[in-house]
């Protein structure tokens, strides 16, 4: 059995970097046996009422880490865990909403800039951030092929199919899911759908408290929820059996049964 212990670091929303650092320190002390720890989108600071200029002042450079990224690197190294971390990245006219993969020696292996920005339900994320221009190529980390997507991208099946076809076994989805009518239900069924249709494990780690839902979860390759962290700030560790992927894909070979020649007609002329 190929086991992976996943830590869901469901942090609270904060409008101050210092408070975010304290929350990171507080909840990371609960890490015990995790191999892979995942944190939410917007963990660095809640950008809701901030401008892109405000965010650029705290944004950091991956090649020259600031206090936030150094804290993530130190966490991974001291706890001996692989980490899916989040930050706002500078170097552009607006910051980019970025996910970093850090191995258990504190080395940054790769990163992904959110490509589909949340311009919906009256919110305009593109006013604050610049979108990335390429989807993530899955990387081997903690003995698992991991893919990345961010929050709103749960509504874009192509993102997950792209990564599944390139070997992703688990897709980590840092999220900051805003509260609203039926929003928790949307997060649930979208996550389960993306896992089932691609026969992958999917892990959503969502920001909690304030304007956000929490509800971090792990979904198995059939789309069944293994664990849910609830609405409040929390930390959970859950073991999964990665060999279940083979079992599911043998009985439900969705990726093999695709008819790629038909899908070309989907393209808009």
The HSE-up count of residue 57 (CA atoms within 13 Å, CB side) is 8
pTM of the predicted protein model: 0.97
Fold category of 3-266 in CATH:
Nitrilase/N-carbamoyl-D-aminoacid amidohydrolase (3.60.110)
* Three-state secondary-structure class, residue 171: strand
Phi-psi region of 137 (alpha: psi -120 to 50; beta: other; left: phi over 0): beta
Residue 170: per-residue pLDDT: 98
Q: How far are the Cα atoms of 126, 219, 222, 239 from residue 226, in angstroms, in the given order?
A: 33, 6, 11, 10
Q: What is the pLDDT of residues 92-131, one digit of tens each?
A: 999 999 999 999 999 999 999 999 999 999 999 999 999 9
Structure tokens that stand for 207 in this block:
């920001």
Q: What is the pLDDT of residues 50-81, one digit of tens each?
A: 999 999 999 999 999 999 999 999 999 999 99
Report the DSSP pairing between strands 139-141 and 144-148: antiparallel
Residue 269: per-residue pLDDT: 60
Residue 160 reports pLDDT greater than 70: yes
pLDDT band for position 266 (50/70/90)? confident
Residue 218: per-residue pLDDT: 98
Residue 49: per-residue pLDDT: 95
Residue 126: per-residue pLDDT: 98
> Angle of helix 183-198 relative to helix 157-165, nearest 10 degrees?
30
Residue 255 reports pLDDT greater than 90: yes
Residue 268: per-residue pLDDT: 65
Greatest CA span in the chain, whole angstroms? 54
Domain chopping of the chain, boundaries: 3-266
Question: What is the Cα gyration radius of the chain?
Answer: 18
Residue 264: per-residue pLDDT: 82
Buried-exposed string 197-229: b where 16+ CB fall within 10 A, e elsewhere:
ebbbbbbbbbbbbeebbbbbbbbbbebeeebbb
Cα 4 → chain centroid: 17
Angle at 215 between CA 213 and CA 220, to 5 degrees: 145
Residue 156 reports pLDDT greater than 80: yes
pLDDT band for position 168 (50/70/90)? very high
The neighbouring-strand residues paired with 225 are 219
């Amino acid at each position: 059995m190929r086991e992976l212990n996943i830590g869901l670091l469901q942090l609270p929303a904060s409008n101050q970097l210092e408070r975010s650092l304290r929350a990171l320190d507080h909840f990371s002390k609960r890490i015990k046996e995790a191999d892979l720890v995942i944190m939410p989108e917007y963990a660095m600071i809640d950008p809701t009422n901030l401008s892109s200029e405000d965010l650029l002042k705290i944004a950091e450079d991956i090649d020259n880490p600031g206090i936030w990224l150094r804290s993530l690197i130190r966490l991974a190294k001291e706890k001996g865990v692989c980490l899916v971390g989040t930050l706002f990245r500078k170097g552009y006219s607006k910051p980019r909403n970025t996910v970093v993969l850090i191995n258990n020696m504190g080395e940054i292996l790769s990163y992904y800039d959110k490509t589909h920005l949340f311009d919906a339900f009256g919110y305009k994320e593109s006013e604050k951030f610049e979108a990335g221009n390429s989807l993530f190529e899955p990387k081997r980390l903690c003995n698992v092929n991991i893919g990345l997507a961010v929050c709103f991208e749960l509504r874009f099946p192509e993102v997950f199919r792209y990564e599944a076809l390139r070997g992703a076994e688990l897709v980590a989805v840092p999220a900051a899911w805003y509260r609203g009518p039926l929003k928790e239900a949307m997060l649930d069924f979208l996550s389960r759908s993306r896992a089932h249709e691609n026969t992958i494990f999917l892990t959503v780690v969502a920001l909690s408290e304030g304007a956000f839902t929490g509800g971090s979860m792990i979904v198995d390759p059939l789309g069944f929820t293994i664990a849910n962290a609830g609405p409040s700030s929390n930390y959970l560790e859950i073991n999964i059996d990665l060999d279940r992927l083979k079992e599911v894909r043998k009985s439900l070979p969705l990726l093999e049964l695709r008819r790629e020649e038909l899908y070309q007609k989907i393209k808009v002329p």
